[in-house]
Amino acid sequence: MATTTRRRAKPAENAAPEPTQEELLHYYKEMLLIRRFEEKAGQLYGMGLIGGFCHLYIGQEAVVVGMQAAQLPGDSVITSYRDHGHMLACGMDAKGVMAELTGRAGGYSKGKGGSMHMFSREKNFYGGHGIVGAQTPIGTGLAFAHKYKKDGCIDVCYLGDGAVNQGQVYESFNMAALWKLPVIYVIENNKYAMGTSQQRASAGELYLRGSAYGIPGKQVNGMDVLEVKKAADEAVAYVRGGNGPMILEMKTYRYRGHSMSDPAKYRTKEEVNKMRSEYDCIDHLKSLLFTKGYADEESLKVIDRDVKAVVTEAADFATTSPEPDAAELWTDILVEA
C-alpha cells in the first residue's frame, strides 16, 4: 500500500516559524471557547438540564487546540468520552454540541447519543466513544482507510492515561506499526484515570509504550499550546510522510472531577490550585500576548465577549430546542438499503 501525499506538510527539521499574532489570538479564542462552554455545561448540569455522565475538559484545552492547528482538512479525529473540547476544536457548532448534552432534537445525534456519543461526518469527527480504549482500534481503522484510499490524510486518535492499559491499545499499536498507518496517538495524560493516579495504575513512561513496536514517542507539555503545536507539526509531518504511527504524550491536567459526581478525594486541593494558578494554558497564553504586545486587556475583553455570546447562544438553543419526537425512538437502528 504505497501512500501518496497530495498535500505536503512542513518538513519537521525546519525551525518552526514564530507564531503570528493572528495565530496566537486564534488559539486564545479557541481555548477560551472550550473553557466557557464547559463551565456553562457544568452549570446546566447543576440545573438538571444535562443528565447522566458529563466529563468536562477544563484545564486540558491547549491539547486539542494545539493539535487541531497542525491538521489539514480531511484529517480525521476520534477520542473517548471527554469529548466536548475536541468537537469544538474540530469546528463543530457549539449549539449542536450543547443541545446534544441537554438531549434535544437539535443536538448532533438528535439527542440520542448524549455527552459521550457525538459525531460529525462533515467535520471528520468520529466520536465520542464511551468504552475506554475502544476508540484506539477504530481510529487505527480510520487511518487504514486513509491509506487504502490514498487520500493523503491522517487520523488523530486521542486516548487517556487510563486507556493506555487496555489490551486493544497494543493490538492497535502493533497493526499500525506493522502496516505503517498514518495515525497519531495522542495520550492525554491528565494524571488520573478517574480516581486512580498514573503512579498507581501504569508502570513505566507512557510515551514509551510504543517503543516495542518501533513507534516513536514524545512527551509534551500539554499545558502550553505552543509546545503542543510544535510537537503536533513534527508528528503530523512524520505520519503524513508515510513513516507510520507516532505517539505524543501530553502532560496535562483536568481541574474538574472525572465526571460531575466526583468528590475528588484522590488529590489535594493544593495540587489543583497550584495547577490552576501556575500552569493554566489560557493564563499562560494571555501573558504571552501581553508580552509580545499582541493584545491588551481591552482587546481580550472583546474576545471574551464574543466567546460568551457563542456560549450563551448555545445554552439558549440547548434549552429551547425541543426534545426529540417520540417517533425518533425507532429511527436510525438500521440504514435502509
Considering only the stretches 221-229, 232-240, 281-289, 329-337, report the one whose residues sit in contact with other proteins under the rule CB under 8 A: 329-337
Angle between helices 21-46 and 297-320 (to 10 degrees): 40
SS3 string, 66-102, reads HHHHHCCCCCEEECCCCCHHHHHHCCCCHHHHHHHHC
Q: How far is CA 216 from each of CA 112, 144, 248, rounded to the nearest angstrom?
A: 39, 19, 9
**Pick from 154, 163, 158: which is nearest to 183 by CA?**
154
Ranges within 283-312 binding other proteins (CB under 8 A): none
Q: x/- contact string, 248-277, with other proteins (CB under 8 A)?
A: -------x----xx-xxx----------x-
Ranges within 9-68 binding other proteins (CB under 8 A): 39-40, 42-43, 45-49, 51-53
Is 212 one of the binding residues for other proteins (CB under 8 A)?
A: no
Q: x/- contact string, 169-208, with other proteins (CB under 8 A)?
A: --xx-xx--x------------------------------
Is 136 one of the binding residues for other proteins (CB under 8 A)?
A: yes
Give the three cell numbers for residue 193. Answer: 484515570
Is 245 one of the binding residues for other proteins (CB under 8 A)?
A: no
Amino acid at 275: M
CA 264 to mean position of chain CA atoms: 23
Is 146 one of the binding residues for other proteins (CB under 8 A)?
A: yes
Is 121 one of the binding residues for other proteins (CB under 8 A)?
A: yes
Among positions 79, 80, 120, 189, the unique one binding other proteins when judged by CB under 8 A: 120
Among positions 12, 212, 309, 329, the unique one binding other proteins when judged by CB under 8 A: 329
**Pick from 33, 50, 54: which is nearest to 99 by CA?**
50
Looking at beta carbons only, is 66 or 139 nearer to other proteins? 139
